[in-house]
Amino acid sequence: MKPASEPETFRQPAASQESVPDWMREIGGEVADGKVADGEVADGKVADGEAAVDELYGIEGAETAAPAGSAKPSGFAEPAEFTEPTGSTEPSGLAEPAAEMGEMPDWLKSQMPPSAREESSSLFAETNGKPDIGWSQEETPSTPQTGVPDWLSEAPTPAAGDFSSAAESPAEAAAEEIPADWFSKFGITSEEKPAEATPAFVLRDDDMTPFVSGDEMASTEPVSGGLESFPDWLSQVPTEEPAPEAPPARAAQPPEIEPQADADLAPAQLPTWLEAMRPVESAAPTAPYADESVSSLETSGPLAGLRGVLPAEVEITRIRKPPVYSNKLQVSEAHQARVSLLEELVAAEGQPKLVAPHIAIVPQTVLRLAIALVLILTVFGSLWLSSERTPEWTPLPEPTNVPQEVEDLRGLIETLSADASVLVAFDYEPGFSGEMEASAAGVVAHLIEKRVPLLLVSTNPLGPALAKRLVEQQVDELNSQLLPNTSPYTTSLFTNLGYIPGGIAGMRAFAETPAQIFPHSLDGEDVWTTAPLTTGATLAGFTLALVITDNPDTARAWIEQAEPVLEPSPLLMVVSAQAEPMIRPYYDSGQVQGMVTGLAGGAAYENKRGRSGLASEYWDTFSLSLLVATILILIGGLVNASLTSLARNKRKGEEQPYA
Amino acid sequence: MPDWGNLAEPLGTIIGFVLTLMVFSYIFGDNILFRLATHIFIGVAAGYAAVLVIYNIIFPVLAQPGEELVRLGPPLILGAWLLTKTSPRLSRLGNPVLAYLVGVGAAAAISGALLGTIFPLVDQSTRALSDSNIWNVIVNGSIILVGTITTLIYFHYGAHPTPSGVTKRETPIEIGAWIGQFFIAITLGAIFAGVYLAVLTVFIERMRFVWDFLWSFDWKYFISLFS
């Protein structure tokens, strides 16, 4: 349906004048604008009789097309004034000029009472070749018109508002005066009217009174096209149930035909197999169960009419003021103080810190040169004294006062038999070789004198070279002091296995499976074929293990990783003086059975054995240098304390000038 | 034609003497001689370590017979896999191997620290109280107990703000920490003394080397090697 305000509907091209019938041309003077009529014809919106009547009697939604099953006599479609301007686009077979009684269907004619036939004839009687539609656009329906039947003239005048949808312009009125019979010239018959299935209006009780009484309304269903608003004679026509999909030909049939046919039909007897195939819904004795326990029925919104809908609307439409949350952080004074302190700390980080001027009596370079010169002269002086006078002019540690750990180590080595196997780990840095060689020289010399096979390893990549250097040095030293009728010492009993990779994990692996870590020595010899160094041997197969190290961490690693595997064989250590404070607790706990610490330990070991070695050679110089160094430390401490005291007194004097 | 076989030792001695003097030049402050000697030492040590690892670790492993090589396959694969860490683009691929190494090392270190250090030393501390001399037990036990507890207290950094705004530790904690600092000072002093003794020994060894070189080096023999 086109909107009512659409002007194109009423303004058709003038070329359509050719299809205007003769009678319409004769009334051309009465039509304000002939284009309108043409337009109406062209659009096929000619005098939609049903819509006009519906509008006349206040039927809402009458602008929709009349239902097909209405079978309404066409004679009620002529009040063109009430034709919906935007009425149906159908050619309206029902709206054809049925005023011509000759074209009225016979069944309708037979249903009409004689009086009504006369009124109908007079209603659609032409005047001067045009249909008498009773009143014009300018005339109100309440105005009696000639040619209007009594039943129509007695109809209550609709309210002004009821004509809101009626044509208001003279052109529309003229278009509605077009006789519908000229449609026959276009070959349009009543059988071609398309069926309309769905009525789209609602009856109002106050508008039905003129045509249908209350009893008739009770007996007649308000279906299809407002049949209840027909006159009395028409209301007597038996109505039929609306057929939504009925074709136009069927809709034009007399209504009594189907009841007659239904009466003649015998009730169908469905076979049992067909009964069984019926849907359950059709065979169900009762209607589907509808849960009406929930009394809430939705009355508004898109879910109107549904029962049991969650009452979301109530929650949604609940209007309440949202809570107000303060965006101001609640900070206490303590928090603010901490924030301020943090800000000060952060700000202070970016500021350069003033370095207090160092009070120096002499420049640092001069002081450093002076200390170095004193130490160098002390060492050279001691060496000169040793060369000019009898060596060892400073007494070595007394053999009777040798530390217990040194004595334990010496005793364990002394008890070694010729078939014993000893593992020696050289784990010190080349930079400390001066101290470690002096400390371990006596111990290594003692092992060489015992003529036991030594396996040399190291967790330091440079350890194998240091081991070779020290062992060869001691072999040469012992051979130089060889007593008569004594076989010389050789390095054939010593096997350098090399470097243990992997740090702590490698050390642990070597302790558990030394043959897999070192299948061969550095020289490529297979060292695991002779007892006790067999392939399956662990570190426990060694008679003892000696670790020479300057690093307390390395010493602790050997204790932690190798000592548990080495048990019950003893673990001995030669450590630097700087590592002694860290390793001594392990000696006290029994994990290290013997220990030599630093040059003092080495000198004590040599003196205990009655041999002279590197430690003994260094001992005089060491003693004198240590004394001088101690004096320097004391002097430096006194000077520093004096300067600090002077600075403090000076500061106090500045703070309290009048005290 | 120099006698290269006999020239190595005196030539090495001369080089050692020169390098020693270059290191001692640090007495005058940081200079190019000291830096040069340091770089030489680092380079020589790294080169020797690389050669040692190649000839002592890698080649012997690769020279294993077939069945041994199969056993050593996983370590070799992991070792080759670790080479991806040398490339910044492929560095992430070596993370699993590195994680394996770190995990194994950490596990060995933790177990060793527990079984090899903590438990034995705790046992040793309690054993000191089993001396037959009651005075030794009292004195030694007191020193061990007080020294251990106060040293641990010293490293307790828990504190509370005071009403005056100053953050301080609790009074018992403060007293224990004050006592503990003496034990820590004694320990650090002992370590410093040990370091001083160690470096003094090294210094003496170098000065003796210089002395011997200056007064005992046979220059005539060295020159004769070139003739």
- Residue B226 belongs to a domain: yes
pLDDT of residue A154: 56
Q: Considering the domain boundaries, does residue B26 fall inside one?
A: no
Q: Which residues constitute the domain of residue B139?
A: 133-227
pTM exceeds 0.80, yes or no: no
Q: Which residues of B touch A578 (CB under 8 A)?
A: 191, 194-195, 197-198
Contact B198 A576 (CB under 8 A): yes
In a domain, A262, yes or no: no
Beta-carbon pairs below 8 A across chains A and B: 154
Q: Is residue A459 part of a domain?
A: yes
Distance from CA of B191 to the nearest CA of A (A): 6
Q: Closest by alpha carbon to A243, among A71, A109, A87, A107?
A: A71
Judged by a CB distance cut-off of 8 A, whether residue A626 touches chain B is yes
The domain total for chain B is 1
A69 or A557: whose pLDDT is higher? A557
Q: What is the ipTM of this complex?
A: 0.86
CB A49 within 8 A of CB A94: yes
More confident residue, A421 or A51: A421
Min Cα–Cα distance to chain B from A326, Å: 30
Structural tokens at position A507:
């050390």
The partner residue sitting opposite B200, judged by closest CB among A437, A585, A625, is A625
Whether residue A656 lies inside any domain: the answer is no
- Chain A's closest residue to B187, CA to CA, is A581
Please indicate if any CB of chain B lies within 8 Å of the CB of A545: no
Q: Does residue A625 belong to the interface with chain B, where contact is any CB pair within 8 Å?
A: yes
The answer to the question of residue A603 being in a domain is yes
pLDDT of residue A647: 87
Q: Is A110 on the interface with B (CB under 8 A)?
A: no
Contact B53 A438 (CB under 8 A): no
Distance CA A579, CA A597 (A): 8
Tell me: the pLDDT tens digits for A436-489?
Answer: 999 999 999 999 998 888 899 999 999 999 999 999 999 998 888 887 788 888
Q: What pLDDT sits at residue A167?
A: 42
Q: What is the pLDDT of residue A321?
A: 76
Give the SS3 label for residue A493: coil
Residue B101 lies in a domain: no
Between CA B161 and CA B169, with CA B166 as vertex, the angle to 5 degrees is 60
Which residues, numbered 158 to 187 in chain A, qualify as contacts with chain B under a Cβ-Cβ cut-off of 8 Å? none
**Contacts B183 to A, Cβ<8 Å:** none
Nearest CA in chain A to B72: A516
| Alpha-carbon span A46 to A57, nearest angstrom | 20
CA–CA separation, B157 vs B177, rounded Å? 10
Using the predicted structure, report yes or no on whether residue A17 has a pLDDT greater than 60. Answer: no
Angle at A115 between CA A109 and CA A121, to 5 degrees: 65
> Between chains, do A598 and B201 touch, taking CB under 8 Å as contact?
yes
Structure confidence by residue, pLDDT tens digits, B76-92? 888 888 889 888 888 88
Greater model confidence, A388 or A542: A542
User: Across chain B, what does the average pLDDT equal?
Assistant: 87
Mean pLDDT lowest among A240-249, B58-67, B165-174: A240-249
Q: How confident is the model at residue A220 (pLDDT cuts 50, 70, 90)?
A: very low
Q: Does A391 touch chain B (CB under 8 A)?
A: no
Return the DSSP state at A60. Answer: B
Contact yes or no for A577 and B198 at CB 8 A: yes
Reply yes or no on whether the pLDDT at B19 is more than 90.
yes
Q: Say if strands A544-549 and A126-127 run parallel, antiparallel, or are unpaired.
A: unpaired
pLDDT band at A88 (very low <50, low <70, confident <90, very high): very low
Domain assignment of residue B56, yes or no = no
Tens of pLDDT, residues A355-386: 776 666 677 888 889 999 999 999 998 888 87
- pLDDT at residue A123 in the model: 47
- Residues 478 through 517 of chain A touching chain B, CB cutoff 8 Å: 498-499, 501, 503-505, 508
- Whether pLDDT at A33 is above 60: no
Q: Which string of DSSP letters, residue by residue, matches chain B?
A: ---HHHHHHHHHHHHHHHHHHHHHGGGG-S-HHHHHHHHHHHHHHHHHHHHHHIIIIIHHHHTS-HHHHHHTHHHHHHHHHHGGGGSTTTGGGGHHHHHHHHHHHHHHHHHHHIIIIIHHHHHHHHHGGG-SSHHHHHHHHHHHHHHHHHHHHHT----EE-TTS-EE--HHHHHHHHHHHHHHHHHHHHHHHHHHHHHHHHHHHHHHHHHHHHHH--HHHHHHTT-
A443: containing domain: 388-624
Order the strands of the A494-499 sheet from edge to edge: A494-499, A454-458, A422-427, A544-549, A571-575, A594-597
Flag whether residue A528 sits within 8 Å of chain B, measured between CB atoms: no
How far is the alpha carbon of B14 from chain A, nearest alpha carbon, in Å? 18
* Contact state of A622 with B116 under an 8 Å Cβ cutoff: no
Whether A375 maps to a domain, the answer reads no
Kindly state the percentage of chain A with pLDDT values over 70: 52
* Weakest mean pLDDT among A175-179, A592-596, B125-129, B152-156: A175-179
Helices A433-450, B171-216: inter-axial angle, 10-degree rounding: 80
Query: Could you say which of A228, A254, A280 is where a domain stops?
Result: A254
For residue A565, the domain's CATH number is 3.40.50
3-state DSSP call for residue A303? coil
Query: Does residue B164 fall inside a structural domain?
Result: yes
Helix/strand/coil for A457: strand
Residue A395: DSSP 8-state: P
Q: Name the strand (E) or helix (H) holding A176.
A: helix A170-176
Best to test chain A binding among B40, B53, B160, B200 (most A CBs inside 10 Å): B200
| Closest Cβ opposite residue B191 in set A379, A503, A578 | A578
Nearest CB partner across the interface for A622, out of B49, B105, B200: B200
Residue of chain A whose Cα is closest to the Cα of B194: A578
Dihedral sign computed on CA atoms, order B179, B182, B188, B194: negative
Cβ contact, residue pair B108, A561, below 8 Å: yes
Examine the pLDDT at B181 and tell me if it is beyond 90.
Answer: yes
Q: Is residue A648 part of a domain?
A: no
CA distances in angstroms from A288 to A191, A283, A291, A579, B98, listed in the order given: 41, 11, 10, 97, 73
- Whether residue B42 is contained in a domain is answered as no
| Chain B residues with CB-CB distance to A571 below 8 A | none
Q: What distance in Å separates residue B28's CA from the closest CA in chain A? A: 7
Residue type, A319: I
Q: Which two tokens stand for residue A441?
A: 């020289």
Amino acid identity for residue A588 in this structure: D
Nearest-by-CA chain B residue for A368: B27
- Identify the pLDDT of residue A318: 64
Structural domains in chain A (count): 2
pLDDT of A53 reads 44
- Residues of A with CB below 8 A from B117's CB? 556, 559-560
User: What integer pLDDT is reported at residue B29 of this predicted model?
Assistant: 85
Q: Is residue B92 part of a domain?
A: no
Is A629 an 8 Å CB contact of chain B? yes
**Interface with B, mutate which of A367, A504, A549, A627 (most B CBs under 10 A):** A504
Least-confidence region, from A265-279, A502-516, A608-622, B187-201? A265-279
Q: How high is the mean pLDDT of chain A?
A: 69
pLDDT tens per residue, range A50-72: 444 444 444 444 444 444 444 44
CB of A585 within 8 Å of any CB in chain B?
Answer: yes
Q: How far is CA B4 from CA A484, B1, B208, B218, in A?
A: 34, 9, 27, 17
**Cβ separation of B201 and A579 shorter than 8 Å?**
no
